[in-house]
Chain A
Amino acid sequence: MTYIIEGATGPWEIVVGLEVHCQVISKSKLFSGASTTFGNDANSNVSLVDAAMPGMLPVINAECVRQAVKTGLGLKAKINLESVFSRKNYFYADLPQGYQISQFDKPIVGEGTIILDMPDGSTKAVGIERLHLEQDAGKSMHDQDPKYSHIDLNRSGVALMEIVSKPDIRTPEEAGAYLTKLRAIVRYLGTCDGNMNEGSMRCDANVSVRRPGAEFGTRCEIKNVNSIRFVMQAIEIEAKRQVELIEGGGEVVQQTRLYDPRAGETRAMRSKEMAHDYRYFPDPDLLPLVFDQAFVSEIEKTLPELPDEKKARFMRENGLSAYDAGVLVADQEKSEYYEVVAKGRDGKLAANWVITNLFGALNKAGVDVAESPVSAENLGKLLDLILNDTISGRIAKDVFEIMIETGDDPDKIVAEKGLTQITDTGAIETAIDEVIAANPDKVQEIRDGKDRMLGWFVGQVMKSTGGKANPGMVNQMLRDKILG
């Protein structure tokens, strides 16, 4: 899939690399024993270490190390048995130490790969450059007071994994697919909850433009975009800005920008205008992080089936298309839901119902699969009712509507509403006879060769039985009666 911006002077290609900060799931912070939970009083989940009191020292959380290794394994990446924590020095109100403990030239995880599942069912590999562990900053609140900013350090020191892609992304859609896939992977792994709107997954996008196939252009970094949709928009808008700038005789300056979704523009960040010099150096309070292959192997044993493997299995075992399998595995809960529905049933029919009907309805209602009013067990029962000819596919859709409304068991709905399919030949024959008797002219038309009218008769019979007659039987019996 190519994505080209047609500029006034010719075509431009975009080049994107993403830096994603994933908040690590752990009970306590990366270097202190304070809790990582959200929503507490300001500065309550803060230890003296997090507040950078004089003489306080960091001690690393083993779980955060395991989570980083686990994520690295999920990204099929190289795990570095020795890595080093460095200090990134800069002053900011929500950075109590005056430096962030991060990893610089020796990250815990090296190169890996993410396979993107594109909407057309195709796939694309995007390289992972590295994953490193670092501390999150605190929170600055600027709208509490006209003259002051308020600083809450509750988040200060929470572990982040910064996952850096190679500049392999070429379209906004690929950026979206990358984030969707990365989020799925960390959620499957249980290493990050992936909630972008709550800030537990944050994305910086490095965007540049170039003539197709030419050298990389100068990039701008768009900071802290908080939804996948906004990332895609921001890339599109930033790329257009750069093309217009270059074509207008200007030059792209490397800088940090913010995306303003309301204004639909990116703009340079004032606080980042001053050139930075982070003066990274190995943190003398911490020693090299070293573990052996056995430590990695232990973690490897705990890996769940990941989206790519699950997708392959759905295609292989259930005969699903790449697209359908991709949709189902994009979210662990969706895939688990599907597996319950499909178990012991027709996998393709199950996929159709889950994707088209269920996801359609959930989307409309704006709820997650976890909050679905229709349980996977009940949807499975509905499929059973279709498969054993208790109800027709059409009636099933009506039953499903009721299930979405009420969450009821389909067996109960069908029984209470008397929706069981009519398969009694006598009852169907009576209905057919009534329709034939009332429409002698149309019967003649069919007999004169106007076969298409047969469908009209089927419709009339279904209507008169309230849709409950078995459509196959109606068709066959009408044919027999009229055409003899």
Chain B
Amino acid sequence: MSSLDKETVRKIAFLSRIEVAEDALGELAGDLTRILDFIEELQEVDVEGAAPLTSVADLTLPLRKDEVTDGNIQQKVLANAPLTDAGCFVVPKVVE
């Protein structure tokens, strides 16, 4: 299952929102396939009874007090934006 065709790469590239030129798809498919072949080795491990380890932190989620401690920093929020108007970020028109 680890050989990627161009169509799959095109789909992944779109999900990742990375434009890939049509003539670059082949090489990329090759690179990604090599990586997948490499990680394929995991399939041989017996993980019977192993719970997925999502974090090594031996903690539970700390809860924060419900207080307004942040915000009112519009200038900082917008400081690095490529394009703003009327206090808003601006993007090409979205049609729903």
Contact = CB atoms under 8 A, between A and B. Distances in A.
* Chains A and B touch (C-beta atoms under 8 A apart): yes
B67 A46 contact: no
A401 B48 CA distance: 76
Interface in A397-430: none
B61 A288 contact: yes
A45 B71 contact: yes
A454 to B, nearest CB: 71
Most buried by A among B55, B88, B93: B88
Nearest to B89: A151
Given A271-B96, A277-B15, A287-B60, A93 B91 contact: yes
Contacts of A146: 93
A290 B60 CA distance: 6
Contacts of A288: 60-61
Interface stretch (A136-144, A186-194, A226-234): A136-144
B77 A46 contact: yes
Contact of B63 (A46, A65, A152): A65
Contact of B77 (A27, A43, A91): A43
B93 A149 contact: yes
Given A93-B94, A142-B96, A27 B67 contact: yes
Interface residues of A, number: 55
Contact of A59 (B54, B64, B86): B64
A152 B86 CA distance: 10
B92 A140 contact: no
A36 to B, nearest CB: 8
A344 to B, nearest CB: 40
Contacts of B47: none
A269 interface: yes
Given A28-B68, A64-B66, A287-B61, A147 B17 contact: no
Contacts of B71: 33-35, 44-47
B92 A270 contact: no
B50 interface: no
A32 B70 contact: yes
Contacts of B95: 142, 270-271
B66 A28 contact: yes
Contacts of B17: 91
Contact of B88 (A43, A258, A269): A43
A49 interface: yes
B10 to A, nearest CB: 13
Interface in A278-317: 279, 282, 284, 286-290
Contact of A269 (B55, B91, B92, B96): B96
A140 B94 contact: yes
Contact of B65 (A34, A62, A93, A277): A62
Q: Is the interface of A mostly helix, strand, loop or mixed?
A: loop
B20 to A, nearest CB: 16
Contacts of B64: 33, 59-62
Contacts of B61: 60, 85, 286-290
B54 to A, nearest CB: 4
Contacts of A64: 66
A277 B14 CA distance: 11
A47 B74 CA distance: 9
A147 B66 contact: no
B69 A33 contact: yes
Contacts of A48: 70, 73, 76-77
B41 interface: no
A51 B55 CA distance: 25
A148 interface: yes
Contacts of A28: 66-70
Contacts of B89: 43, 93, 150-151, 153
Given A27-B66, A290-B61, A147 B92 contact: yes
5 nearest A-B pairs in the assembled complex, by CB-CB distance: A33-B69, A63-B66, A34-B71, A62-B63, A33-B70
Interface of A: 26-28, 32-35, 41-49, 51, 59-65, 84-85, 91, 93, 140-142, 144-153, 258, 269-271, 274, 277, 279, 282, 284, 286-290
Given A62-B64, A151-B89, A271-B94, 20 more contacts: A28-B69, A28-B70, A34-B70, A41-B74, A44-B72, A46-B71, A48-B73, A59-B64, A142-B95, A144-B88, A146-B93, A150-B88, A152-B88, A270-B96, A271-B95, A274-B14, A277-B15, A284-B55, A287-B55, A288-B60
